[in-house]
Amino acid sequence: MKTLLAELRLVLRLFQADVTHNRKRIALTVIAIGWGTLSIVMLLSFGEGLRQSFHTNTRGMGVGIAVVWPGATTRPWAGLPAGRPIQFTDEDAELIAARIPEIDGVSREYSTRRGVAVGEKTVNARIRGVDASFGAMRNITPQPGGRFLNERDLQEKRRVVVLGDELAQDLFGSQDVVGRTVQIQQSTFTVVGVAVPKTMMGMYSGPDKGQATIPATTYKSMWTDHRMSNLIYRPVSPELGDQAKAQLYRILGGRYRFDPADERALGVWDTRRNQQITDNIGLGIQMFLGLIGALTLFVGGMGVANIMYAVVQERTREIGLKMALGAKARQVMAPFVVEALMMTAMGGLLGVFVGLVIITAIGLVPVTDDALAFLGKPTFSLPIAAATALILGSVGTLAGFFPARRAAAIQPAVSLRYE
């Protein structure tokens, strides 16, 4: 070990001598490695940005929730014919909450399109009547200064509304509108919150940003003949999702007298599936991009190996001399491996540095376009740094090892006469 450390000084000297002799060749190799590193860093970072945006956007509608629509029976059950439509009532939500321990949140959702007016200005928007738990489940977060609907709003049938960010902007030309009022069906509603902007990859009845959300009880008192359009529920944990769904069919099947195995009696959209699939797609894209980057880097590694082969050739006599003076195979090989590693490290640092500059520059560009928001920001993370270092390290070691092994195989008696 001590010998290796001492040898390192000599190696550095060697490298220096090599650099002055083959400046252009070494520069090209370092650039090749740098280019490979840059592409791997950029591709992985874009992949990470895309994966994160996938991850966030699939959760824009809520995490792990399921949406249930009333359906129609497709098979006769308990003396009743097939083709019977199911309709939800307010008691269903209470029943589900009380009887299914696997479910920890339920909300009703009534829904219609109506004009929402501020002064002379009217915007045709979706109005929905929901329970207080809806906001947390459906990821509708109030902007600072505002709040979502609460239990008292529901009990007292208050005329309060939470606006989507886009709807607030359209109506008021601003999103800072807590405390102001809007007219819905000649009724005055006080704005208690405006939702934080978000991107949604999945949705039903339009994006949340254009909707007005009011208490379900208020909604019912305004439109007494409306039927509930759907229910939202969230299982206690994602693993319990399938159990919760089976329980839902059993409980509602008992109540509305349909076969719990009759899938079409209820329409259930389990968002867990989508989230898992998009997560996998995101990971797949990232692995694919990483592979392309690794291959590019590998080409750079071949360049280093090539140079090292040439260097071994040029130093045949020197290698022979060192062997004559008693250098062991390890001591002959080490300088070549170290030199290859140094070239790789220089190229790697160059690539990572340029990559970080580009990523930071892209990060500073404000995102105005929806498609760009969807693509996400390229993100350089610790695992990416680790992966890059690992690949770089192995490429460098391999690129140094094979030429070094060739150097150690040189016969000193022959190489001392080599010119």
Partner 1 sequence: MDKLIELRDVRKVYSTGRLEVQALRGIDLEVGRNEYVAIVGPSGSGKSTLMNILGCLDTPSSGSYTLSGEAVAGLDRNRLAEIRNRHIGFVFQSFNLLPYATALENVELPLLFAGVSTKERRERAAAMLERVELGDRMEHKPTELSGGQMQRVAIARALVNRPTILLADEPTGNLDSASGKAIVSLFEELHAAGQTIVLITHDSGIAKLASRVVRVQDGQIVEDVRAAA
313 binds partner 1 (CB under 8 A): no
- The residue from 98, 324, 357, 372 that contacts partner 1 (CB under 8 A) is 324
89 binds partner 1 (CB under 8 A): no
22 binds partner 1 (CB under 8 A): no
323 binds partner 1 (CB under 8 A): yes
8 binds partner 1 (CB under 8 A): no
11 binds partner 1 (CB under 8 A): no
10 binds partner 1 (CB under 8 A): yes
328 binds partner 1 (CB under 8 A): yes
Nearer to partner 1, 324 or 357 (CB): 324
Structure tokens at 109: 């959702």
- The residue from 141, 331, 394, 397 that contacts partner 1 (CB under 8 A) is 331
- The residue from 326, 366, 368, 369 that contacts partner 1 (CB under 8 A) is 326
- The residue from 329, 357, 386, 390 that contacts partner 1 (CB under 8 A) is 329
23 binds partner 1 (CB under 8 A): no
411 binds partner 1 (CB under 8 A): yes
372 binds partner 1 (CB under 8 A): no
As measured in angstroms, the least distance from the Cβ of 408 to partner 1 is 8
Closest CA to 91 of 267, 255, 241, 265: 255
Binding footprint of partner 1 on the chain (CB under 8 A): 2-3, 6-7, 10, 13-14, 16-17, 317-318, 321-329, 331, 411-413, 416
